[in-house]
Each structure stands twice: as structure tokens, then as C-alpha cells.
Structure 1
């Protein structure tokens, strides 16, 4: 492994982001969204790829061949992400794509390019409980050699709680979109709800996107976007990303996709400290986050 690929974090408006994102920030900030574009926003490891696949299936009315036209990151570019050389930047792909585009971001709401709000774009935000999020993020940072070195679990958990990981504070992130959900065209969904009743949630997403799909089509989309189906789908499982970037001996990109896996990682003491911290930070914004289903 080339140790040089591991990124360091820099900041944009006080939010820690990988240095290579900060380097191209001006292009991201100036991006011109179109009213037909759809933005999928999440904190890292909150069900982003799942939401992307569901949205692409809905827009293609469950036509699997159309959704297998290219890998996820090509079909629905990651607006702020760049490669080391800048050539494969999400922004580069988006600048040459015609609307309507489905666009991915992990940016907190205050850093989303202004043109998305000016154009009145539809935004789908998925939130996931922070315990499962941090566990998933930890394993992702172990395997993604472009991410900062995660270090040991205990230190990583501390960094999450003190908002020092890439894309900053989980707490501010979920609260930012929650507070604006009635002022902007934002559909706010939960990972845990999608796990519990995918038919209901896929139907909600389709209706938000202005599509009335048959029950048969919805059922088909649910089946095609289960964790096991996506893990076997090379256009959705990030298997096209080379081993020089994803060290699959450390962890799989699609690892478990469960609710409650945090119980296998948090010690009783870590859980008690986290609970106390969580309730303090979320006291001003009671979002119905569930840690189990």
C-alpha cells in the first residue's frame, strides 16, 4: 500500500473535509443545478448507496437493465469528491451531464451549493442512527485508502463525538436538514424506517419524485434493492473501484447494512458515555432517531 494516498483533513467554513475536496472547492460552490436535478444527501455511511439505487430504480420504473448501465458513482456522481488527479472528480462528470441529474453529496446543508436552493431542486435526505453510522464509517475508513487513517476504535469513536471526522458533526448534519425540511423541497427519511418497511418508504420516495408506480413495480424495486441483491450487483457494490483504493482485506464496502450492529462494537462504558453525550447534543432538536427496530 502507498501510504501517501491517505488524505488529511482541511476545512471549509469550519467543516473538516478531505484536503482534495477543499482543493477543488470553488468549482463545487459554483456548480449550477437545474430544477430537474435530484440531490441525495446523507452523512457518510448512512445508507447513501441504498438511497441512490432506490431512486435510480424508481426513475427507471424498475428496469434493471437501465439501472445496470454504469456503476453507481458514474450514474449518480458525488459532487464534492475528487480523485487524486482531479480528472475523475464528481464535479467534472456533472459539468458534462445534461439534466435531469441525480447527484450525491455528504455536505452539511450550509455547504450545499446555493444553486440547488435557487433552482428549487428536490432533495432526499437519509438519516441513520449515529451508533451504527460510526461503526460503518470506522470500517469504511479502514478499507478506503483515500480516507484519513482511522486509528483504533476507541479514538475513532472519540473523534466522531467531537466532530473531527470528514464532513464534520453528525449532530449538526442531521439537525441542519431536519430544521429546513418544511422550508425547502426536502424528503427526510430514516435508514431504520427503510429497513422496517421498505415498501412504505419506496412508495414515499416515488410519490415525492412525482411518480405513481404500481404495487408490482414497487415490490420489484424493493426486491432489487435489498442488501443481498445490491451486494451481488457489480453496478451497485463498488466492486469496480480498484484494490489500490479499497483494501477489501480490511472490510467489504457493503459490510452488513443492519440496524443494531453497534451492539457488537460498543462496550457498556462506551455506550453509557455516548448516550449521555447524544442526549445533550440532541436536546434542542428531538429527531425520532431509532437505535434498534
Structure 2
């Protein structure tokens, strides 16, 4: 069991991350106007969003998503693996990140690059995170959901507090180059969400192309695609029963929280997310 790598108050995994890379990505990495950035707090549907955007780029043709690992198609800017890939990529780039707002590459804020921020009910994020990180060998693993619940509310989990992360990124929500999506809306009406992404990115899909994007980004298809389901992660980094795509549903937290936990969570949510307009969070 490993602890975390701490950088400016934020815990990172000890594998694939080092302070120098995180610092360099923030201070020196140049985000170009033609780049597209996909930002999420971990376990919010990150890989689903990447898959959809990749398929939009190929107009529904699955060749790319079936032949290139997901972390090569949209590398993580803060990771040791992804950072050099992005630096050496000449064309318009697809960039993924879990970084909180204050650690994000500074160059972004004076660029016209488009960022899509995907949020998900933090209760579901918590449950999904618990099952995922428990299988990873390079993070502090919780012995029970109760322990993880406490860590999560304190922000003592990978990439820090969900509340801080979300508040930070939502400060961008009035900007033209920022699109806010929710996992819940994407589940409820995937087609409309794909159209919304297309409009934002200035892409046009024919009806049959849209159907292909829908088909190849479905939960079941992604679960079976070895380029997207993380089955290529080496065994020294994760236990063999790691499941990236566990349930892909909304509201699973109700199967795991006690009544007291649900109440405690509500209280913290109300405190930390005060000031946002009603209806912004589709799960409230």
C-alpha cells in the first residue's frame, strides 16, 4: 500500500506522477487555440467523454478507438506518460486532465482552446472511486467504504476535494470556450449530449454518423473494447480484477450509503456548494 504524492496540497497517485511534471505542465506547457481539453474529477465519466469526442472526430468510424489505447488518443497532461506525448504532437490535440483549476496549465487562460468539463453526482463519484482505487496498487487503499467516505468529505483522496475541484472549474461557466456537461444528462439523453458537444466543437455529424458515435460509445461496447476498458493496465499496477467500467449507472450510491451518511453528505454539499444557482446540478 502506497501513500500519495502531495503537490501544493493536492494528493496524486505515486505512479505516473511526479512533482516536476505537474509543475512543468502548469508553468511551461503551451495550450494552443485549436486544442480541445477534457477535464473531469476522477470517476465522473472521463473515459466515456474521451470515447465520444474521439468518435465525433472520426465521424463515428471506430477504427481509431479500436486500435489505439485511450491514454494515447487523449493523453493526460499532468502525467509522466502523457506530458511528453502532448509536447511532441504537432496537430490540434485532444488533452485530458483531472487537474484542479489552480494547477491547470496557465497558458490555457489566455488561449481560445475549448474545454469540456464533465460533472457527476459526487455521491456516485465517491462510491465509484472507492471500488476503483481499492484495486489500484499505487494509491492509499481504504479498508472500508466508511473510511473512504470520511476521506472523501475531507478531500483526502486522489486529486483532492470534489467540492473545491468543481467550484474552481465552474468559475469558467460563463465563458464561450467552456462547456459544462453532467454525467446524469448524458445517461438520460446521450444523443442530445453528443449533439451539444458537436455544436460546441463546431463539428457536423450526419444522422447515420451520430448513430455510429452512439453505438461505439455505449457502455457495453466500451466495456468490450480493450483499447478503452483499461484491461491493458499491467498487473504490477492494478489487481487482475480491476474493472474500470463497473456499472455505468446513476444513483448507485443509494445501494451503499447509510441514512446517516446520506444526511452527512447533504449537509457538507449544502455548505460547500452554496451560492450556485438552483438547477445547476441535475441530481439535486
User: The TM-score by the shorter chain falls in which range?
Assistant: over 0.9
| Alignment counterpart, residue 30 of structure 2, candidates 29, 32, 35 | 32
**CA contact 2:120–2:184 (8 Å) conserved in 1:** yes
Q: Distance in 2 between matches of 1:237 and 1:291?
A: 26
**CA contact 1:9–1:148 (8 Å) conserved in 2:** no
Match of 1:85 in 2: none
Q: How large is the Cα RMSD of the aligned pairs?
A: 1.6
User: Are residue 277 (structure 1) and residue 271 (structure 2) matched?
Assistant: no
Q: Give the structure-2-normalised TM-score.
A: 0.93
**CA contact 2:121–2:283 (8 Å) conserved in 1:** yes
Q: Distance in 2 between matches of 1:233 and 1:37?
A: 26
Q: Distance in 1 between matches of 2:176 and 2:162?
A: 20
Match of 2:153 in 1: 161
Shift of 1:166: 1.6
Range that drifts further, 39-48 or 109-118? 109-118
**CA contact 2:39–2:117 (8 Å) conserved in 1:** yes
Where 2:6 maps in the other structure, the secondary structure is: strand
Instruction: For 1:100-115, list aligned pairs within 5 A.
Output: 100-115=92-107
Shift of 1:148: 2.2
Q: Distance in 1 between matches of 2:240 and 2:251?
A: 23
Shift of 1:180: 1.1
Shift of 1:196: 0.1
Match of 1:75 in 2: 73
Match of 2:210 in 1: 218
Shift of 1:248: 3.3
Match of 2:11 in 1: 16
Q: Distance in 2 between matches of 1:185 and 1:39?
A: 10
Q: Distance in 2 between matches of 1:21 and 1:57?
A: 31
| Alignment counterpart, residue 125 of structure 1, candidates 117, 122, 136 | 117
Shift of 1:23: 4.1
Where 1:24 maps in the other structure, the secondary structure is: helix
Q: Distance in 2 between matches of 1:248 and 1:137?
A: 17
| Alignment counterpart, residue 254 of structure 1, candidates 232, 235, 245 | 245
Shift of 1:184: 5.2
Give per-residue Cα distances to partners, 1:202-230, cap 9 Å, x unaligned: 00001111111112211221111111110
Give per-residue Cα distances to partners, 1:8-39, cap 9 Å, x unaligned: 23122x33333533242232121112111111
Shift of 1:235: 1.2
Q: Give the structure-1-normalised TM-score.
A: 0.90
User: Are residue 187 (structure 1) and residue 179 (structure 2) matched?
Assistant: yes
Where 1:116 maps in the other structure, the secondary structure is: helix
Shift of 1:43: 0.3
Q: Distance in 2 between matches of 1:267 and 1:234?
A: 35
Would you identify which runs of 4 or more consecutive aligned residues in structure 1 move more than 6 Å? none
**CA contact 1:9–1:18 (8 Å) conserved in 2:** yes
**CA contact 2:76–2:96 (8 Å) conserved in 1:** yes
Match of 1:57 in 2: 55
How many residues align? The count is 280
